[in-house]
Amino acid sequence: MLAIATLDLPLPCVLAPMSGISDLPFRLITRSFGAPLAFTEMIDVRAIHHKDKRTRHMLASTPEDRPLGVQILGNDGESLIKALDALEEWDFELLDFNAACPTPKVTRKGKGAALLKEPHILKKLLGLLVERSKVPVTVKIRAGWDHNSINAREVALIAEDAGVSGIFIHGRTKAQGYSGTVDYRIIREAKKAVKVPVIASGDNASVCAVKKMFDETGCDGVVIARGSLGNPWIFREAVRFFQDGGVCSKPDPYERSMIMKRHLGLSVQHYGEKKGVGNFHKFFIWYTKGLSGIKPFRDRAFRANTLGELLALIDELHTLEHSVPEPEASYS
């Protein structure tokens, strides 16, 4: 369905790297619905050198969390090489290099999307990674820096020349950040230009949107990002769609509560109770999006400090009038 280097994935939809979100608990939840590949959030190569607790949490994985891509962020060769040495301690299947992050704190230092303005530097860095990495290397880019400098096609060609095994393209410019429309045309042009797989990102928030991305761009695969928040079963819907074009029903309130509890349990297991519960607060919001009368529950969720409190609150959700969205009638 989607082949990247030696990986043969049964579904052409993968979980995006997302800072503060795509940690081990969330990856495991999405994998339980069929995500065939997931990424860590971006990790600065300097943090990898230090191997502090936070970085170890980001890199932690289990056999059920495979294949795994580790995404790194950096802009100088020496730091990249040191990070590769430090990464020897961890097992993973892909190394993804971030040339897409639009955050000023990152781009001011010449990292992330800033590298789109310096394709020759990007090429050198990717060449170095390809030469030294123990696993295949991919790169994540954007449509361009801004609408006056759309260059994903050129950057994709440069990355392919440097030896990467796949190119992830977020079809927005750095200037757009996370809003505005996705440029399908530039993804299509990049896809046409290179032989390595192109995996498209941007607004893949439903199976309909995923289908549109494939139709409009001819991409080899897609990345599911914000569409998975509070909605990890989007992967189950995608599995069904790619199997026989069928439509899956959304989880009923009972199943949704079970998923929330499983996710919360994994979070506590991974971070310990205090941080695990705190970290789950944002997921509570996403999982309960659209439920009428949810506000007081959310307020209580934010005040909850223990696993017991939050589990009891999730159990109480059934007292709400649930509005479970209807499945999309057809994807054609």
Which residues are at the interface with ligand FMN (CB under 6 A)?
A: 16-19, 21, 41-42, 71, 98, 100-101, 140, 170, 178, 201-205, 223, 225-227
Site of tokens 């995923």: 210
**Residue 117 CB, nearest distance to ligand FMN (Å)?**
17
CA 2 centroid distance within chain: 16
- DSSP tally for the chain: helices H, then strands E: 14, 10
* Strand, helix or coil for residue 252: coil
Q: Which is nearer to ligand FMN, 44 or 160 (CB)?
A: 44
How far apart are CB 73 and ligand FMN at their closest, in Å? 8
Catalytic residue at 219?
no
- Which residue from 192, 240, 184, 177 is spatially nearest to 209, judged by alpha carbons? 184
CB of 139 closer than 8 Å to CB of 159: yes
Which phi and psi angles does 127 have, rounded to 5°? Answer: -60, -40
Distance in angstroms (rounded) separating the CA atoms of residues 189 and 246: 30
Partner residues linked to 15 by β-bridges: 224
State the Cα–Cα distance between residues 155 and 209, nearest whole angstrom.
25
Dihedral sign, Cα of residue 82, residue 86, residue 90, residue 91: positive
Of residues 234 and 260, the one with the C-beta less far from ligand FMN:
234
Closest to ligand FMN by CB, 17 or 136: 17
Q: Which of 101, 208, 219, 248 is catalytic?
A: 101
Q: Are 161 and 127 in contact (CB under 8 A)?
A: no
Min dist CB 312 to ligand FMN, Å, is 29
| CB closer to ligand FMN out of 74 and 257 | 74
Element (H, E) at 207: helix 207-217
- List all residues 6 or more positions away from 48 whose beta carbon is below 8 Å from its beta carbon: 55, 59, 72, 82, 83, 86, 87
Q: Is 200 or 291 the residue whose CB approaches ligand FMN more closely?
A: 200
3-state helix, strand, coil in the chain (%, to 5): 50, 15, 35
Q: Residue 209 CB, nearest distance to ligand FMN (Å)?
A: 8
Closest approach, Cβ 320 to ligand FMN, in A, equals 27
Measured from the CB atom, is 229 or 301 closer to ligand FMN?
229
Q: What is the DSSP string of 120-168?
A: HHHHHHHHHHHHH-SS-EEEEEEEESSTT-B-HHHHHHHHHHHT-SEEE
Angle at 153 between CA 151 and CA 154, to 5 degrees: 70
Taking the complex as a whole, the smallest distance from the CB of residue 172 to ligand FMN amounts, in Å, to 7
- Shortest separation between residue 309's beta carbon and ligand FMN, angstroms: 26
Query: What token pair was written down for 211?
Result: 């289908």
Comparison of 142 and 256: residue with beta carbon closer to ligand FMN: 142
Active site residues: 101
